[in-house]
A and B are shown apart, each in its own frame.
Chain A
């Protein structure tokens, strides 16, 4: 299996983007929108990670006959 680093960079990009966006929105007195952006970012990142985690769990399941 090849090493897939793109997800790491994707997640870091989402994190940095969300951080910047919340900062800008807070400066512009839109704190509610900032919170919504943070929530959406976490949701998207969580979906990515969940897919990967599902792969891991099914792989472990088949490997160890769980």
Chain B
């Protein structure tokens, strides 16, 4: 029952953050960051399982591998940007957090350019 462990870790971390926050807000921020990282590291093998399933499905359906790797990259970038932005927001730096998220969105858009142009090519081929 991994969810019990994770829930317990979250609750314990939350209590400790509240204890430390009044005297040392910077320590509380580091503590929250560490808790988030640990939870993600624990859940990572399951994500790897899902990713493997996606890749297998793509191979079976004869989908271009380029698209699948691009989509996986986009998911990873979205997760990292969201994570860092959320941490900044927790630390009270609203503006830095939203900048980080905006950078993530821009990078995702850049990564999606080949996919978008492929879709466009297909439409044009169908039209003419």
Contacts and interface: CB of A to CB of B under 8 A. Distances in A.
Given A8-B31, A12-B16, A3 B79 contact: no
Interface residues of B, number: 37
Contacts of B79: 60
A4 interface: yes
A24 interface: no
Interface of A: 1, 3-5, 7-9, 11-12, 14-16, 18-19, 22-23, 38, 41-42, 45-46, 48-49, 52-53, 55-57, 59-61, 63-66
A56 B13 contact: no
B76 interface: yes
A16 B34 contact: no
A52 B41 CA distance: 9
A55 B41 contact: yes
A3 B4 CA distance: 11
Nearest to A2: B42
A2 to B, nearest CB: 8
A3 B6 contact: yes
B73 interface: yes
